[in-house]
């Protein structure tokens, strides 16, 4: 079976002045990074790796792991004044920025805390066109190899 080595460069940033997001990056369930961001809020950090995959369907997954309801700080009027989010700023695959595909071809599967949302909101198990992860959960980008064929079909 034909295999392809794919190079990823992923830019992630956080939003909180007080807490850094802990995350992991996987391809097809294999973990390549499990870390916490170190930069100031809204400053991207880049994570690069290569993976060898068989031809066919693949999934890039980025998971937020350490969000609690208490990480969302509100003022006396209920307005959010500080929150810990993990933002997917950029994704390059084979040195090509996939641009809008990081929104249009992906889904975010949040895990809502039991103390935060009402039952209607908990029904939303998949969020489309979302690169700002506000809850623990996993953002998934399905793609296929050969990568260049997938890219041409999805541009």
Domains and CATH numbers, the chain: 3-154 (2.60.60.40)
pLDDT band of 98, cuts 50, 70, 90: very high
Strands (E), 94-131: 96-97, 107-110, 127-128
pLDDT band of 114, cuts 50, 70, 90: confident
pLDDT band of 44, cuts 50, 70, 90: very high
Burial zone of 25 (CB within 10 Å; 0-12 exposed, 13-18 middle, 19+ buried): buried
pLDDT at 116: 63
Burial zone of 119 (CB within 10 Å; 0-12 exposed, 13-18 middle, 19+ buried): exposed
Q: Say what the pTM is.
A: 0.92
């Amino acid at each position: 079976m034909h295999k392809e080595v794919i190079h990823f460069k992923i830019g992630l940033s956080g939003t909180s002045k007080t807490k850094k997001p802990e995350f992991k990056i996987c391809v097809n369930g294999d973990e390549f990074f499990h870390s916490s961001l170190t930069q100031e809020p809204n400053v991207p950090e880049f994570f690069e790796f290569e993976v060898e995959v068989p031809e066919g369907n693949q999934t890039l997954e980025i998971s937020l792991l350490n969000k609690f309801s208490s990480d969302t700080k509100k003022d006396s009027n209920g307005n959010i004044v500080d929150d810990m989010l993990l933002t997917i700023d950029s994704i390059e695959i084979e040195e090509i920025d996939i641009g809008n595909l990081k929104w249009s071809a992906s889904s975010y599967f949040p895990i809502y805390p039991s103390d935060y949302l009402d039952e209607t909101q908990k029904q939303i198990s998949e969020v489309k066109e979302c690169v700002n992860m506000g809850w623990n959960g996993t953002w998934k980008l399905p793609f296929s190899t050969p990568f260049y064929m997938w890219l041409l079909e999805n541009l």
